[in-house]
Amino acid sequence: MSLVLGPVLRHVGDTTAQVWVQTESAGTVEILGCSATTFEVQGFHYAIVAVAGLEPDTATEYQVHLDGVRAWPEPDSPFPPSVIKTRGPSSVDRHRVIFGSCRYPKTGDAKIDDKLGLDALDCYADRLTHLPVAEWPDALILLGDQVYADELTPEVRRHLAGRRRNRHGQRPPDEVVSFSEYEGLYRHSWGDPEIRWILSTLPTAMIFDDHDIRDDWNTSAVWRAEINEKPWWRDRIRAGLASYWVYQHLGNLSPTELADDPDYRRVRDAGGDSWPHLAELADRADSEVDGDKGLRFSFRWDLGRSRFIMVDSRNARILDSGERMMLGEREFGWLEDQLGDVTELDHVVLGSSLPWLLPPAIGDVQTVNEIAANRSGLRGSLAEKVRQAADLEHWAAFMKSFLRLTELIVAVASEPANGPATVTVLSGDVHHSYAARAEVPGRHTARIHQLVCSPVHNYVPGFVKPVFKLGWSPRAARLTRRWARRRGSPELPISWRNLNGPLFGNTIAALNLQGRRAEVVFEQPRGSGELVEVARIPLTDYN
């Protein structure tokens, strides 16, 4: 029995932690005296060990034993020991959270890797090896595109071509379809030594975006109808959602939440291959029933006096019913419940893979496109083609949901003086980074921001840069807002402006929270492999 992937440190509390592993065969995984038996999915084996009995405010080194034999750390590892750093009274109001999205793996092809540039998360891992544990961040938040199931590396393409040679055209040679093929993607992306080590020692929260499944996933009802006609799609969506549940979702849950989860209990106790349960789970997650999805992937972490709520803005979409919502009613109700009592909190942070606040001119373009695509005839068909070609499917293209989320954020920001000092939305996806401040008419206690960090490791096409620069132009924003209003867009309850950026290139960001103060720092790798600060923006101490 050997370790294939992991350990990945996931949810961490004051005295508990969740550690995820993938093993080569079935067996028992033990960490710090706590153990779990593996479960099986199509011949692959996984476990989540709920570590208990830790002391608050401590950093505890740990090892992974498989059937009693040490499997981690690996012999002669150049990295420091993996640790579990718990929270507690001394850190209740002081946190550093690093975040980013869109990390394409190294390919081994020099031409492609040179084009991609240095991996910002790799560089951050290297930095941590030279810092004392006390200076390490409290959490890592990955905001989508952890794997690229639709933009395959040359190695994966060659592998799929060999597997598909005798499939008689039933499955395309350049599409990931099966769970085993997704397993290969995760092993490639997470097997990088620096990435594997940093995931073993920083509590990591994850939410997916489109490339984890397929580009433009759930863009519109038309897109869903078209993709569902493809004979291989049902296998693809089952594999994609089931692998996300195994590799990413389970670790987002606390030990109590995981123990109470009926799907996890069914899979854990299957006594053999649990794929039939996961296939049913994936079908339920993908289907719309009474205006809602059958599974919620959104989740919440509390770090002392700060609350982090990660919102699923991809799979939770409601499209088939004609309502066109980013979140169904039940999911929106859950979000409202998480924000229902925020008194005594210093900071509220929402995570959405897709930005809530885009460059204003681009947001207006998406809103106008939604209005046009809702029309019948040639105009509606043309607008739908433009929507899919130009990726016009962010919150601004779901105007009903945009307004509802905006009203919710403004309500939280309007809490009395003992409410939060900031309400912040973290996002990725758009291959440029920025910090935007929302302006709300009237008096509001909390500062409201949109922070975007993208990509961590990916190529930024040259044409993107002038488009996004123009999107932030105040003059362009005034013109597009008038245009959108004439086309039927409602009046927006807020306005927003860019505090810094747009920043292009591979980037990692840190949200620093101390008491009721907050700031964001953007860093980028340079030729030496070191990270260089490119922007530091206060989120509270300005007029």
The whole-number pLDDT of residue 543 equals 57
Residue type, 66: L
CATH 3.30.750.180 boundaries in the chain: 92-144+296-538
CATH 2.60.40.380 boundaries in the chain: 1-90
Show Cβ contacts of residue 287 under 8 Å, excluding neighbours closer than 6 positions: 293, 294
The whole-number pLDDT of residue 437 equals 96
The pTM assigned to this predicted structure is: 0.96
CATH number of 92-144+296-538: 3.30.750.180
Which of the following CATH numbers is that of domain 1-90: 3.90.960.10, 3.80.30.20, 3.30.420.40, 2.60.40.380?
2.60.40.380
280 is written with which tokens?
A: 């049913």
SS3 of 266, please?
A: helix
Phi and psi of 283, rounded to 5°? -60, -40
Strands 34-37 and 83-85: unpaired
Q: How far apart are CA 58 and CA 36, in angstroms?
A: 23
DSSP at 174 = T
Phi and psi of 195, rounded to 5°? -65, -40
Are 243 and 278 a contacting pair, CB within 8 Å?
A: no
pLDDT averaged over 10-residue windows placed end to end, the chain, 543 residues: 96 97 98 98 98 96 98 94 92 92 94 95 96 95 96 83 59 86 96 97 98 95 95 96 98 97 96 97 93 94 96 96 92 96 93 98 97 93 96 97 97 86 97 95 85 95 89 95 96 94 95 96 92 96 67
Are 522 and 433 a contacting pair, CB within 8 Å?
A: yes
161 is written with which tokens?
A: 């071509």
Q: How far apart are the first and last CA of the chain?
A: 59
DSSP at 323 = -
Per-residue HEC secondary structure of 362-409 comes to HHHHHHHHHHHHCCCHHHHHHHHHHHHHHCCCCHHHCHHHHHHHHHHH
